[in-house]
């Protein structure tokens, strides 16, 4: 014999609600899994950018040290240039004085100076 299953409205509504809850729960878990996957992808990108940032910071430290070294070298070279400029000025003054002494000398004094110098 065949049994006929009859469903009244309350049982049908209850089954419908249960099915909707199961569907809602399944979709919720599925979307949460996708969200976790997306978070994992973002975390990988963040980690990759963090590594790149660390490399760039290391490069920046190297460049800063190079710049400091070059600035120190410039200071040394500027001091050498200043020293050479002072020497040039002293030599100019010395020979300027000699030239003015020669300009004020008589021909006899010049002749005596040259002969004494190149004997």
pLDDT digits (tens, 9 = 90+) for 64-103: 999 999 999 999 999 999 999 999 999 999 888 888 877 7
Distance CA 108, CA 110 (A): 5
DSSP 115: H
pTM (2 decimals)?
0.48
Structure token pair of residue 11:
């049982």
pLDDT at 38 exceeding the cut of 80: no
Q: pLDDT: is 105 or 37 the higher one?
A: 105
pLDDT band (50, 70, 90) for residue 15: confident
Residue 105 near residue 113 (C-beta atoms within 8 A) = yes
What DSSP string describes 30-83? HHHHHHHHHHHHHHHHHHHHHHHHHHHHHHHHHHHHHHHHHHHHHHHHHHHHHH
Task: Identify the pLDDT of residue 1.
Answer: 58
DSSP 119: -
């Amino acid at each position: 014999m065949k049994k006929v299953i009859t469903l009244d409205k309350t049982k049908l509504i209850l089954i419908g609600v249960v099915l909707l809850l199961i569907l809602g729960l399944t979709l919720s878990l599925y979307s949460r899994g996708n969200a976790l996957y997306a978070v994992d992808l973002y975390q990988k990108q963040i980690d990759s950018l963090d590594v790149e940032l660390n490399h760039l910071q290391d490069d920046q430290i190297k460049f800063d040290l190079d710049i400091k070294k070059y600035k120190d070298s410039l200071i040394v070279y500027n001091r050498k240039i200043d020293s050479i400029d002072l020497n040039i000025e002293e030599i100019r003054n010395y020979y300027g004085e000699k030239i003015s002494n020669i300009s004020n000398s008589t021909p006899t004094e010049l002749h005596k100076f040259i002969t004494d110098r190149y004997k």
